[in-house]
Structure 1
Amino acid sequence: MGTGFERNVAAADASARSVALAVLRSGPVSRADLARRLGLSTASLTRLTRPMISSGLLVERQPEGGNRTGRPSTPLDIDAGQAHFLGIKITWDVIYAVVCDLKGTVISRTRAAVTDTSAEAVVKQTVAIIDDHRRRGPGVTGVGIGIGGTVEGHRWVRRVPALGWTGEFDLADRLSASVGLPVSVDNDVRALTQGKHWFGEGRECSSLAVITVGVGVGCALVIDDQLYEGRRGLAAKVDHWALDPEGPACPRGHRGCAHQLLASGQVSARASEGMGRPVSFEECMRLAADGEPVTSQIVQHAAACLGLLVSRVADMIAPERVLVTGDGIELAMLGEDRMRTALVANRSTLADADDVRLVRSDFYAWAQGAAAIAIRRHMLTELPVT
């Protein structure tokens, strides 16, 4: 169990990390507000912040002005330039990479085509991308990887359908051993959610649900300020939830499941069948926006099903906010009225009326989410605070 001294040091370290994390997510923040949020006395807060100010991790901003009387408050903030993190989003055809500072601000970004989707080739290409960024940019403290598969413990990758990976291997360890840096891996939707929770549209929320529509249908949850992974990394798998008993059957035998109704490839297939010629998802959206009847009906029906899906996820954990995003967000944008009608019709009558937001996010935002996974690890386990 350790000595009393060791336990006291561990407790002080945990308290200091909670202070640093609160400033990261809310700064600039006054000492009074910070003490109130964390339930600390002024003396305790001063004791905890003093070494972080001395090290340069925390900085004092200009005192707040205004018409207040008495001594002005001196807000505390994180020195964002103290560390930099590389976030990488791996898709079946492109690897997107961003360098972020400690506050998640994107400093630079690149992309590279995937030429070979085998695990060995993708690992080799990712190592080359990391090494290239380390040569050209600011020093990298840690790396985060977002990938569209089943990931457990920020390490183990078990299944990545888009890349054809079916085995199990420790992707984090493979990369870390090659580049000599801490590497954290997560499912790409959870990584995106981490970025939205700490640095984006869910920043002030202690509970958050993110639903993505695009090539697939994904979901991730933040509960009591914690990104929820679930057993074996399988939490919030909503892609095969049944939404329409009269809908088309998917290859797994489900009728009217979320993937079959909302995934961009399936929407494209229904549009192609209805139009009697090949129609891409992008063209389907353009035609529907112009009022073409076949594609408009497809989009409106899919939007209603999306509203049902959002209502079920929202009622499950009653989050402060629900974000709907992804590369297929245009479907929700075009059918927003239908989506929200279905949402209200199927959701608890006690729910907030304005807690669902539609958010455009390109793949660099997903890479920023991967960087947020690395920043989270750094703040919670590696950051020297005492």
Structure 2
Amino acid sequence: MMSKPAPDRGTPPADASARSVALAVLRSGPVSRAELSRQLGLSTASLTRLTRPMLTSGLLIERRAELISRTGRPSRPLDVDAGHANFLGIKLTGSVAYAVVCDLKGVELARDERPIADPSPAAVVALVNSITESQRIDWPRLAGIGISLGGTVEGRRMVRRAPFLGWRDVALTDALSTEVDLPVSLDNDLRALAQAEHWFGAGRGCRSLLVITVGVGVGAAAVVHDQLLEGRGGLATLVGHWILDPDGPPCRDVDHRGCASAILTSGAIAEQATSGLHRPVSFEQCVGLAVAGDPVAGRVISYAADRLGFLTARLADVFAPERIVITGDGLDYVVAAEDDFRQALQENRSTEADPDDVRIAPGDFFNWARGAASIAIRDYVLTDLPVT
């Protein structure tokens, strides 16, 4: 079967009204025209005018007709053609670049994984370019690239600090844009992951969302009124050094005790298990021992899950989200000690709060790469969507 050509990036971008329609269909579709008009406050004539060129271009499609219960008239819900464009997402760690190709609805289509032998900015730019050229052979409809990494990203262009890569003040978006003939989107990895959960994952349909991740690090991101919080200098919701237990284990990075990084990360859990069992114990071994009934390992993950519940309660009191998503590559201990987590959340939550909708969503590093693809999808829909 012949591949469709890549979307034409030479046409001018759609206006704000057209982008709002495309976004509403992307996030809610399949959706009836009546519901879409209600959501956006548009007349039937305006909606028809705005959707006609997108139907012609193939960005929007009509699903099978359904009967409207009151009138018996057929309704053909609008949906986004997921194959209209593809997006490459790359999550950079200190040693590996994880890549996925996603369709316009954020569904993963392909994976790639490359070692980062040289973490210098120039070498990483060359590696990203190599991954992009490789994926374009199989996916000629690539319309954008998203890059995410652990660190401080300001203005979606500048990496102010990326400790795993040893970077400071790297203008990564500009560097990549000179090498790659595609729009480039950049963000902190946690915000990118939250973007994926908000539009395509466990937070779909919510206007407010709290995402907390545990693994090599610990972090949080918040969506309020459908807007992903970035904060001044991209520093919103930094929780790694929030004190969860003043008498807890010492932090490796800061002269204090009992912070989130010293209790909740996979490395911290391995250290506590190693100390308690007086022999080297990995994170995975600690969880396995706890599940098998080892009392020392059991206390370690119970303590971590309890303190994660406390942290979640504090954040939930600040943002009052519709939904809370707990995810990350170190989620095994939360699953194993979920009762401890949920009990601590309930005990430390405001007495005024309604019961929280908490979703525990397993993920791996490719899920972070899907987050990177999601920020490319976001920018395509909100900025680069072409007029036809």
Aligned length: 375
How far, CA to CA, are the matches of 2:360 and 2:62 in structure 1?
36
Aligned position for 2:229: 228
**What is the distance in 1 between the residues matched to 2:22 and 2:141?**
21
Structure 2 CA distance for aligned equivalents of residues 138 and 344 of structure 1: 49
| Aligned counterpart, 1:260 | 262
* Partners of 2:41 and 2:322 in 1: CA distance: 22
CA distance in 2, matches of 1:65, 1:107: 33
For 1:333 and 1:116, locate their aligned partners in 2 and report how far apart those are by CA, in whole Å.
36
1:39-68, CA deviations, whole angstroms, 9 ceiling, x for partnerless residues? 112122112112221222111111015866
Out of 300-309 and 45-54, give the one that drifted further.
Answer: 45-54
Find the counterpart in structure 2 of residue 30 from structure 1.
Answer: 32
- Partners in 1 of 2:353 and 2:74 — Cα distance? 40
Q: Distance in 1 between matches of 2:57 and 2:329?
A: 41
Q: How far has the Cα of 1:104 moved from its partner?
A: 1.0
Comparing 85-94 with 234-243, greater Cα deviation is found at: 85-94
CA contact (8 A) 1:209 1:222 kept: yes
State the AA in 2 paired with 1:46. T
The Cα shift of 1:33 comes to: 0.7
Counterpart of 2:352 in 1: which secondary structure? coil
CA distance in 2, matches of 1:281, 1:187: 25
TM-score, structure 1 as length reference: 0.94
- Equivalent position of 2:105 in the other structure: 103
- Report deviation, 1:109: 1.0
Residues 71-107 of structure 1: CA distance to partner in whole angstroms, max 9, x if unpaired? 1111011112111110011112221111111111111
Match of 1:16 in 2: 18
Structure 1 segments unaligned to the other structure (5+ residues): 1-9
Structure 1 match to 2:325: 323
Name the structure 2 match of 1:86: 88
Query: Unaligned stretches of 5+ in structure 2?
Result: 1-11
- Equivalent pair of 2:91/2:99 in contact (CA under 8 Å): yes
- Cα displacement (A) at 1:116: 2.1
Could you say which structure has the higher helix fraction? Answer: 1
**Hey, what does 1:245 align to over in structure 2?**
246
Q: Which residue of the other structure, out of 325, 337, 348, is the alignment partner of 1:346?
A: 348
Farther off after superposition, 356-365 or 119-128: 119-128
3-state SS, counterpart of residue 168 of structure 1: strand
Equivalent-residue separation in structure 2 for 1:363 and 1:385 (angstroms): 35
Partner SS, residue 241 of structure 2 = coil
Give the match's secondary structure for 2:74.
Answer: coil
Q: Secondary structure at the match of 2:203?
A: coil
Please list the CA deviations of residues 315-374 of structure 1 after superposition, one character each: whole Å capped at 9, or x if unmatched: 101011010110111111111111111101110123232411111011111111101100
| Cα distance in structure 2, aligned partners of 1:253 and 1:142 | 42
The aligned runs of 1:172-321 (5 Å cut-off) are: 172-250=173-251, 251-321=253-323
Asked if the contact 1:59/1:78 (under 8 Å) is kept, the reply is yes
Aligned to 2:6: none
Following TM superposition, by how much is the alpha carbon of 1:155 offset from its aligned partner in structure 2, in angstroms?
1.0
Q: Deviations over 1:218-238 (max 9, x none)?
A: 111111101111111100000
Alpha-carbon distance in structure 2 between the residues aligned to 1:104 and 1:68: 34
3-state SS, counterpart of residue 323 of structure 1: strand
- Separation (CA, whole Å) in 2 of partners of 1:151 and 1:207: 22
> Partner letter of residue 94 of structure 2?
W
- For 1:244, the aligned partner's letter is D
The residue identity in structure 1 corresponding to 2:142 is V
2:132 to 106, 112, 130: 130
Correspondence for 2:166: 164
- Please report the RMSD computed on the Cα atoms of aligned residues, expressed in angstroms: 1.6
Which amino acid counterpart does residue 182 of structure 2 have in structure 1?
A: L
Aligned residue identity for 1:274: G
2:78 to 70, 76, 79: 76
Secondary structure class of the residue paired with 2:198: helix
Supply the AA of the counterpart residue of 1:31. Answer: R
Aligned to 2:3: none
What SS is found at the alignment partner of 1:285? helix
3-state secondary structure, aligned to 2:61: strand
1:355 paired residue number: 357
Q: Distance in 1 between matches of 2:52 and 2:134?
A: 37
2:158/2:169 contact within 8 Å kept: yes
Q: Secondary structure at the match of 1:322?
A: strand
Q: Which deviates the most, 136-145 or 59-68?
A: 59-68
Q: Is the 8 Å Cα contact of residues 90 and 146 (structure 1) preserved in structure 2?
A: yes
Distance 2:288 2:276 in 1: 15
The sequence identity of aligned pairs, in percent, is: 60
**Partners of 1:17 and 1:385 within 8 A in 2:** no
CA distance in 2, matches of 1:281, 1:170: 35
Q: Work out whether residues 89 and 97 of structure 1, in 8 Å CA contact, stay in contact via their aligned partners in 2.
A: yes
State whether residues 86 and 142 of structure 1, in contact with CA within 8 Å, keep that contact through their aligned partners in structure 2.
yes
Off by >4 Å, runs of 4+ in structure 1: 65-69
Whole-Å separation in 2 of the counterparts to 1:265 and 1:240: 15
CA drift of 1:385 comes to 4.2
Q: Retained in 1: the 8 A contact 2:324–2:356?
A: no
Aligned residues of 1:143 and 1:184 also touching (Cα < 8 A): yes
Query: How far, CA to CA, are the matches of 2:32 and 2:114 in structure 1?
Result: 43
> Does structure 1 conserve the Cα–Cα contact (< 8 Å) formed by 2:272 and 2:300?
yes
